[in-house]
Chains A and B, each alone.
Chain A
Amino acid sequence: MPTVDDIWNALREVMDPEIPTVSLVDLGVITRVEITDDNVAQVKMTPTFSGCPAMDYMKNQVRERLQEMAFDGVEVEMNLDEAWNTNRLTEEGRRGLAKHGLAPPPVYEGVLQLDVLNNIACPNCGSQNTDMKSPFGPTLCRSLHYCRNCGEAFEAFKPL
């Protein structure tokens, strides 16, 4: 019989559909994993951005992965019990973002101040001598930046 740890491990293999180097566990969208007495796997998830079209896709991926395991049922629910924010990204997740060429969001305490966007470290050369060009990028979770040091434009996974 699979355990709760087995579920977490299985979900570490389910990747973000738009950022294939970051798993859903490392993205911080899995909020609760349980197995009921009658061997039903229950997973709770929290959405990243409200308008993100990938959320339904992620939910189905989780369901399909767990259906490969020896459970008598799989229930996946998306709810807002725990609001997602970028501090929920794991260290592994932040490394995964960088691997995909995206600057990871700064970790913050208390209320996020958006002026941090003006000095995001460049994923190419590491310099913080950068400018934000736009807080909106090609997907809802990305912002556009320019590095004054190496002259490259880059995208960041924006802090939320």
Chain B
Amino acid sequence: MDKGHTITIYSNQLSAALKAFLYRIADDQMVIAHRNSEWTGLGPILEEDIAFSSIAQDKMGHSHAVYSILHEHFGEADPDTIAFTRDEKDFTCCHLVELPIGDYSFSLVRHLLFDLAEQLRFEMLENSSFEPLAKLARKVKGEIKYHVFHAVTWITQLGAKGNEESKARVQSALNETFPLALGIFEPGDGDEELKVASIFEGEDVLQKKWLEAVTSILNEAGLTLPSLNDVEPVYGGRKGYHTEYLQPMLTEMTEVFRIDASAEW
């Protein structure tokens, strides 16, 4: 328990908005962490196996930290209970993170598009008026920098520095993934309150920064982002509507916990 801080008293409305916002962030992190961990033992080369496993471990740590904020500042359940006992409909992750790992080009493109959004989101949150989140943002930025570095290195390697086949496969994954990635920025009901309270500027602001950054990286990599006008963002995740893939993943993830909630490993 973080005893050194006075807890800011927010209105019920603002408190609900902030809680929903934190759940969105942490659910994304935990679900993508689990998906990334599915590359353990399967990576195309050993270093990639280790990289995806390490990134998974970082992201699991980040989600734990955000669930801890919910627990300590909003009286939500402890992080393990939050992670292991909720059903699909209680999760507010975007569809992008819940899809199976697919082939390596999909996982890599998802890694770039998601982690770049994470990096920019936490950069914005470093100045959040909600101090526990601002402190966490200052903490995780160094780790996320490595995630983005890894993604950009490989996208460039397979794009501009690759051959025709590698480039075509990454481009095809990009076309498939772009509408899903726009789902990261699905607005929440309480976003206006968060903005007014200087907690978070808004998903629209983040999406704009992200589009600029991702376009510049893809240009360097000899790849093209589909036009925003040609695609329909995949929304629904933030409202608890999910793909057929989330519940089976959660069922697998919680298997040990459901057999023995006190198991340690």
Contacts and interface: CB of A to CB of B under 8 A. Distances in A.
B136 interface: yes
B54 A136 contact: yes
B51 A134 contact: yes
A52 interface: yes
B135 A140 contact: no
Interface in B127-148: 132, 135-136, 138-140, 142-143, 145-146
Contact of B146 (A80, A83, A135): A135
Contacts of B164: none
B50 interface: yes
Contact of B50 (A80, A137, A160): A137
Interface string B40-71: 00000001001101110111111011000000
Nearest to B153: A135
A110 interface: no
Nearest to B52: A136
B contact patch SS: helix
A51 B47 contact: no
Given A80-B136, A80-B139, A160-B142, A50 B51 contact: no
Contacts of B62: 50-51
A12 B163 CA distance: 53
A61 interface: no
A140 B60 CA distance: 12
Given A133-B47, A134-B47, A144-B47, A49 B145 contact: no
B2 A50 contact: no
Contacts of A133: 47
A1 interface: no
18 contacts: A49-B61, A50-B62, A50-B139, A51-B58, A51-B60, A51-B62, A81-B4, A83-B135, A83-B139, A112-B142, A114-B146, A134-B50, A136-B51, A136-B150, A137-B50, A137-B54, A140-B57, A140-B58
Which 6 A-B residue pairings sit nearest by Cβ, starting from the closest?
A51-B61, A50-B61, A136-B54, A134-B47, A51-B57, A80-B135
Interface of A: 47, 49-52, 77, 79-81, 83-85, 112, 114, 133-138, 140, 144, 158, 160
